[in-house]
């Protein structure tokens, strides 16, 4: 198990980092938006495109238009403190004579999360959307039964930090390692954690768990799971149907969970001829590793537009799935 005596050292090191984040211009912008009671629930990119194309939506008319729908705007529609904070954070640009925010801001409950501008075409884009809401909701349902016992947790591929922050809010005595290979994601995770008022999130570079040592009481992940023709890191899951990264996370959990530790994985699976190959492979690996697992479909049909891509020529549908796996306290005896 993780040694509690090492928590103060880690937390103390993170406290200095959190203090510096509180002076970051993006943190100031988030505080200003909170003062203006800003809220925005982010839909899919396809929905954003459709809504923004409607007549009258060419420009933003309010804060939701600026930071949610990410439309160009005139300086006079933005409250002066918001515009000042945007400029101080170097988070605004000129587009055809109008201003446009370089970042979006979404809300989950009372929390605000900075993430990448629309459209999320750059390879280092930090994505946030309906999958984020599903992921956080599943964590919120699962954590009450395990939160008090958790001491060391990891969010693999933390992105905006929504999952790590959900853990931190539910488990204030645990150290949460928010891990990503994307420097932009780590920066925004730190800012978003500061906005949430949590000091137990450590944003760290790591490819899976390769760059951090030790074991974890809880590993969570909402990894990329699609086949992306441009292989953008935030979107491309690898393998023939996008499941390679999810399976790599399963393997990492088998190796690095403490006895009694749990993996919570939100991902998606391409169903071909009625067969969920990701489920079959993940459960087989977990069984071979001695873990006890459950697997369920949360939504039978997401990202339907992807079925037009060549990689999904034989796919029936793409399902959102939830996998929970626990390592027994004592090794299982194989028959």
Hey, what domains does the chain have and what are their CATH numbers? 8-116 (no CATH), 125-326 (3.40.50.150)
**pLDDT score at 17:** 53
**pLDDT score at 139:** 97
Measured between alpha carbons, how far is 81 from 166 in angstroms, rounded to an integer? 29
How many other CB atoms are found less than 10 A from the CB of residue 143?
20
Measured between alpha carbons, how far is 211 from 227 in angstroms, rounded to an integer? 26
Angstrom CA distances, 164 to 9, 144, 261, stand at: 20, 15, 17
45 close to 69: Cβ distance less than 8 angstroms: no
**pLDDT score at 147:** 63
235 close to 306: Cβ distance less than 8 angstroms: no
Q: What is the 3-state secondary structure (H, E, C) of 181-224?
A: CCHHHHHHHHHHHHHHCCCCEEEEECCCCCCCCCCEEEEEECCC
**pLDDT score at 19:** 54
List, run by run, the mean pLDDT of 10-residue segments along the chain (335 residues).
Answer: 31 51 88 97 96 97 98 97 96 96 97 97 94 98 85 98 97 96 97 97 98 97 95 92 98 97 98 98 98 98 95 98 94 55
Two tokens, residue 323 = 């996998």
For 326, residues 6+ apart whose C-beta sits below 8 A from its C-beta are: 260, 261, 262, 263, 291, 292, 293
**pLDDT score at 331:** 62
- The label of the residue with tokens 């403490």 reads 258
């Amino acid at each position: 198990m993780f040694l509690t005596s090492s928590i103060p050292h880690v937390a103390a090191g993170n406290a200095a980092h959190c203090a510096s984040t509180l002076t970051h211009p993006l943190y100031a912008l988030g505080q200003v938006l909170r003062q203006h009671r800003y809220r925005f629930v982010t839909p899919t990119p396809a929905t954003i495109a459709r809504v923004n194309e409607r007549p009258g939506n060419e420009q933003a008319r309010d804060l939701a238009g600026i930071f949610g729908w990410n439309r160009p705007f005139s300086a006079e529609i933005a409250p002066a403190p918001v515009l000042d904070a945007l400029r101080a954070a170097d988070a605004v640009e000129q587009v055809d004579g109008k201003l446009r925010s370089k970042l979006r801001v979404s809300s989950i409950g009372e929390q605000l999360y900075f993430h990448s501008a629309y459209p999320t075409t750059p390879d280092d884009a930090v994505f946030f959307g309906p999958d984020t809401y599903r992921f956080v909701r599943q964590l919120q349902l699962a954590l009450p039964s395990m939160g008090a016992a958790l001491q060391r947790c990891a969010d693999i591929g933390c992105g905006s930090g929504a999952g790590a922050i959900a853990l931190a809010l539910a488990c204030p005595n645990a150290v949460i390692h928010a891990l990503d290979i994307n420097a932009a994601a780590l920066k925004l995770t730190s800012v978003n954690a500061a906005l949430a008022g949590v000091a137990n999130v450590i944003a760290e570079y790591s490819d899976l768990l390769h760059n951090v040592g030790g074991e974890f009481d809880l590993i969570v992940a909402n990894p990329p799971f699609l086949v992306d023709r441009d292989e953008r890191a935030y979107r491309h899951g690898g393998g023939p149907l996008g499941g390679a990264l999810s399976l790599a996370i399963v393997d990492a959990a088998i190796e690095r969970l403490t006895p009694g530790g749990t993996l919570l994985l939100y991902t998606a699976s391409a169903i071909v001829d009625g067969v969920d190959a990701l489920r079959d492979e993940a459960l087989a690996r977990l069984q071979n590793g001695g873990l006890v697992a459950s697997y369920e479909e949360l939504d039978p049909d997401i990202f339907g537009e992807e079925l037009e891509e060549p990689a999904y020529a034989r796919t029936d549908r793409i399902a959102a799935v939830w996998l929970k796996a626990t390592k027994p306290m004592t090794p299982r005896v194989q028959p």
